[in-house]
A and B are shown apart, each in its own frame.
Chain A
Amino acid sequence: MLTKKVKSRIFFLSALVILAAVVIFVILRSLEENVVYFFSPTEIYNKANISFDKKIRIGGLVKKNSVSKKDTSINFIITDLKKEIVVSYNGIVPNLFSEGKGVVAEGKLKDKKYFIADKILAKHDENYMPPEVSEALEKSNN
């Protein structure tokens, strides 16, 4: 049913698409460092060469009971439930910043365990529910 012309076009086009997909894949792979928006504490821990004077972003959950505030400075621990990094920040945090919730900090590493942030972003997850449901859930968990 397919004519020779159509067949050659299918062949040509699929070759083109596969080629383009491979090129995009290779580019994204080699740029992985730039595509990821933040590193988790475990990724920082496993990284061999970290530049301590380059700005990076780290992200994870704010560890429960780790937030301490003094004047305008705030200290807390970012955790991915495996490794932890202490973050120190001077300024106002977003409204959604809270213990047990996601966070991304932008700044510089002092060492692998200590991070000085100059920007804090709150990250929320894909769960949406009314407050009453969340309260009921928490009650049933405790």
Chain B
Amino acid sequence: MLKNFFPNKILSLSNTIINSLILLLIIVVIIGLIYSLLISPPDYIQGDSVRIMYVHVPSSFMALGCFGFIGLASICNLIFKIKFMSLLAKSLAPIGFIFALISIVTGSFWGKPTWGVWWVWDARLTSMTILLFFYIAYILTWKMLNNFDKANNISSIIGIVGLLNIPVIKYSVDWWNTLHQPSSITLTSAPTIHYSMLVPLVVMFFGMLIYTLIIFLMRYKTEVIKFKIEKKKNYK
């Protein structure tokens, strides 16, 4: 499995795989959107504003997941000095950043009709904002520092420290009183979402997962090529 992500393997990734993934993405997202916007019922208290959930929740999940991966890759990178780990993490960062931004913006749109405010500084919203800044710091480190090894080390430390924030975001709604509601989907108990709303949520989740995968593969290929060019330049 891991072997498929070795730098030389990714270069032979053909466009047909990407194209078929894009086709799959379009199908899944169209089904997901039709289901979540038209077929699924309005909520018993929130009415139609609950439909924001179908974008908000999967985006938040992706934002957390991407950073979780960046953090783990950073640990592998610092300890075992595996170069391509940093390339993997580097290619995931912009996707995670965009999803964190989508999560915050759609959450704000959801907050106004339900809570009555666009924004509050409760534990969940604040820790999510901190995650956004970790993404910005991580991406900027790669952009600002031209020395690969230096950028690699600093960004890995940012990734590892940011990893500690992930459980804080996840459990903020359980540890403290927050305006944000607790999780509806947990590993330990049955989901508190009716199945007619859970199905479109899961479909949208897979849509965003496929999107993440496509952008990640494309970026990773680019990063590997860029890395190889840099290496050649340095030899001359």
Contact = CB atoms under 8 A, between A and B. Distances in A.
Interface of A: 6, 9-10, 13, 16-17, 20-21, 24, 28, 32, 35-40, 59, 93-98, 101, 104, 120-135
B234 interface: no
A128 B43 CA distance: 6
Interface residues of B, number: 38
Interface residue SS majority, chain B: loop
B55 interface: no
Contacts of B42: 130-131
B197 A128 contact: yes
B80 interface: yes
A34 to B, nearest CB: 9
Interface stretch (B96-104, B134-142, B179-187, B213-221): B179-187
Contact of A123 (B78, B115, B123, B192): B115
A107 to B, nearest CB: 14
Interface of B: 41-46, 50, 53, 75, 78-80, 113-117, 120-123, 160-161, 164, 168, 176-179, 181-184, 192-194, 196-197
Given A9-B79, A13-B160, A35-B176, A124 B44 contact: no
A130 B193 CA distance: 10
Q: In this complex, which of B114, B115, B178, B181 has the most chain A Cβ atoms within 10 angstroms of its Cβ?
A: B115
